Structure 1
Amino acid sequence: MLQKLPIENILFLDIETVPLKEDFGLLTEEQQELWAQKTAYQRKDEFSPEEFYDRAGIWAEFGKIICISVGYFTNRGNEQQFRTTSFYGEEKKLLTEFKNLLEGHFSQPHHLLCAHNGKEFDFPYIARRMVIHGIQIPYKLNLFGKKPWEVPHLDTMELWKFGDYKHYTSLKLLTNILGVPSPKDDIDGSQVRDVFYENKDIDKIVTYCEKDVVATAQVFLRFRGEDILPEDAVLHV
């Protein structure tokens, strides 16, 4: 039962990713060929490998993480607060900082990670990029040998499925139907690549990422049958 989980033991998170290189032409010939092979099914005959490259951030083999935002609930007296913070910049550095957070503050068996579509995207993407950079995967992301009920991950999209594995629901749609303020009021995921490479505006991406974390936490509260937090209860630290 979600209501029985101590909510302060959950770390909510979201990541933003972009293609590894700004342009397709910056890839080696071998990388270009591997990209063409990797995306042949998705592209079909509609796009060339080069035309499709602006979507490379979806794949951990051809993309990179530029921001990880996290949030957690705390109680101050009788008031509940939700605190957010972000790791951004050079990928190996931000991954190391995120790992240090997990191992320093969210390493106990009762601690859980939660993201929207996290089991399909955020959690494996972070783990794969850590392997690529030679960073040892922290326990909370290392699923090898774990039984399904031992995996310390929650996923708000999976919770909404109620066992229907064919059902995809975006975070934006969930916030709309559950009465949660929408996080998508400035940019959306399709624009992150341009904001990063062309506008060089990492601050806008960090703000966008943190809003997604807040929205995920608010959706989780609604799943528990609780009221969402007022805006003044959300703090950036």
Structure 2
Amino acid sequence: MKKLLLAMLVLGASAGTASAQVEIGLKLSPSITYLRADSPSSLNFQNEKSKLSLGGGLVVDYFFGQNYAFSSGLWLTSKGGTITYLDRDPASVSTTPSITREQKIGIQYLEVPVTVKLFTNDVATDTKVYFQLGGTVGGAIATRINGEKRYTDPSNSNTETDASDHVIIPDIAALIGAGVEYQLGQSTKIFGGLSYHRGLVNIDKYFDKDRGFEDVTLKNNEIALDLGLKF
């Protein structure tokens, strides 16, 4: 009995190893990014402009079934956008916000996706449609305000701050996407698709900490075109 049980365990492990498959590739993702801004009406924080960005990195698909894969990797992404808000006029004695300020915020992140890919059977010769669901966890590695590494605030006694001090380091986003994958050879595949990345955490720490603005939130949003090659 013990020998039979041992044989079944070995057979099961061998079958699992045989069915498991790892595909590794690279992707390039031009994208449109913007910041979802929210605040009390007296401050009137608004998303003013989106930003064209470019990202990419390593893609790792670990198949645990014929049409199902755990998908991860390591991506370098660029996010941000332009916001406007009401601020006090330093030339006036009034503290009531009365003039419009604009900030162009650019942030680079190193991200790890934690997602599942679901593949259809072939919809055409060597062609499958996939759907991707999950999220990303990232950390800010570089920040610029109005294209500069430092920012001078005209409504805060011209105080100069590091741009990196304007945002928190971690970011978490939900991810949903879909695309098409085509098999070129025995182990070579190309894919293309669209993905939407919705930021879940408030990335701002400047307006709350340094300016004393209450209830201001800035969250990342990204719409990406994913183009890649798996080996």
Q: Name the TM tier (shorter chain).
A: under 0.3
User: Which of 1 and 2 has higher RCO (CA within 8 Å, sep 6+)?
Assistant: 1
Superposition TM-score, scaled by structure 1 size: 0.26
Superposition TM-score, scaled by structure 2 size: 0.26
- Structure number with larger C-alpha Rg: 2
The structure where strand makes up a greater share of residues is 2
